[in-house]
Amino acid sequence: MPATLSASSLAVVTVSYNSSGELAGFLDSVASGDLAPRTLIADNASADIDDTTAIAATRNASVLPLGENRGYGGAINAAVRSLPSDVRFVLISNPDVRLGHDTVSELAGALIDHPQAGAVGPRVLNEDGTPYPSARAFPSLRTGIGHAVLYPIWKGNPWSRRYLAHRTESSEMRQVDWLSGSCLMVRRSAFDEIGGFDEGYFMYFEDVDLGYRLAKGGWDRLYVPATSIIHSGAHSTTSESSRMVRAHHDSAYRYLSKKYAGPVLAPLRWALRVGLDVRAWLLTRGGRQPSSSPRR
């Protein structure tokens, strides 16, 4: 553990939306770590907020009731704004994550050792122990279209392989474009400097956009495979998969329209809007559900 690191300079924030069934396991994993940072749960007007409050009370965590559903980024921003000014590093996590014993200290140590790093992320594992592609390249138009069109019928196509590329053979820390919002630690000064998450994303792509804006601001994003977490998936969205597919496509358009801005590219943005709308309709037409919900 770095000598300059103290629990008071750290915080863990998560978002709850009818997620009380996952919170106990998440909070227990925080408490079992080698540090004991303050933990804050931003609640997006959940129906089970009483259960969330009761679980938090027995595990030394606080709840920030937002009174409305602000989406993932909006809830995280509200939580970070409410933290004391002496908090320097903030671990942002989904509630369906289980942290490793050393996750908080390893990630905070990486930020201390690399002053130009604005965000760092751990190795993310699925429940079966297989790696999840949590550190990726920024999606380009060509790669994104190839992946969107071909992945449902040809999962091994070259565009999907590039989009989902995630080198797991190396145990070395390395620079990446963006880190999965399921679990990452941000330097608060960098997070505040770029305005936190773009709240125009209700869900999905807010982590891609965060990495993109950190990069534009001159901040590094580092993948830290020395520590691992387990992410079980988006439990609160499985009953609303059609709605989530549409949210995913809307967020994809927002990201691409920001990346390909300007009046000259207006026809391209129009084509993207139409194409994404059609794809979302095809995936959800007639009540048809996709084989799995989009995952952060």
pLDDT of 234 strictly over 60: no
Side chain identity at residue 2, one-letter code: P
Alpha-carbon distance 65 to 17, whole Å?
A: 11
CA distances from 179 to 38, 154, 214, 290 (A): 23, 25, 11, 25
What is the overall mean pLDDT for the chain?
Answer: 85
Choice between 29 and 235, residue whose per-residue pLDDT is larger: 29
Share above pLDDT 70 across residues of the chain, in percent, rounded to a whole number = 82
The dihedral formed by the CA atoms of 258, 201, 109 and 83, expressed in degrees to the nearest 10: 130
Alpha-carbon distance 220 to 214, whole Å?
A: 7
Task: Specify the pLDDT at position 80.
Answer: 98
pLDDT of 20 strictly over 60: yes
- Determine which helix (DSSP H) or strand (DSSP E) holds 39, and give its type and residue range: strand 38-43
Give 255-295 pLDDT, tens digit per residue. Answer: 777 877 888 777 777 776 767 777 677 777 754 444 333 44
Choice between 139 and 124, residue whose per-residue pLDDT is larger: 124
The strand ranges marked E within 32-170 are: 38-43, 62-65, 89-93, 97-98, 117-125, 135-136
Could you tell me if 116 and 219 are in contact, meaning their C-beta atoms sit under 8 angstroms apart?
yes
Task: Specify the pLDDT at position 239.
Answer: 44
Task: Specify the pLDDT at position 235.
Answer: 41
Average pLDDT over residues 58-83: 97
pLDDT of 236 strictly over 50: no
Task: Specify the pLDDT at position 252.
Answer: 76
Average pLDDT over residues 82-104: 97
pLDDT of 248 strictly over 80: no
Cβ neighbours of residue 18 under 8 Å, at least 6 residues apart? 46, 47, 48, 236
- Across 33-37, 78-82, 141-145, 287-291, least confident range: 287-291
- Across 61-65, 102-106, 219-223, 246-250, least confident range: 246-250
Could you tell me if 152 and 282 are in contact, meaning their C-beta atoms sit under 8 angstroms apart?
no
Q: How confident is the model at residue 169 (pLDDT cuts 50, 70, 90)?
A: low
Share above pLDDT 90 across residues of the chain, in percent, rounded to a whole number = 58
Give 29-46 pLDDT, tens digit per residue. Answer: 999 999 889 999 999 999
Q: How confident is the model at residue 253 (pLDDT cuts 50, 70, 90)?
A: confident
Task: Specify the pLDDT at position 52.
Answer: 98
Cβ neighbours of residue 264 under 8 Å, at least 6 residues apart? none
Could you tell me if 135 and 176 are in contact, meaning their C-beta atoms sit under 8 angstroms apart?
yes
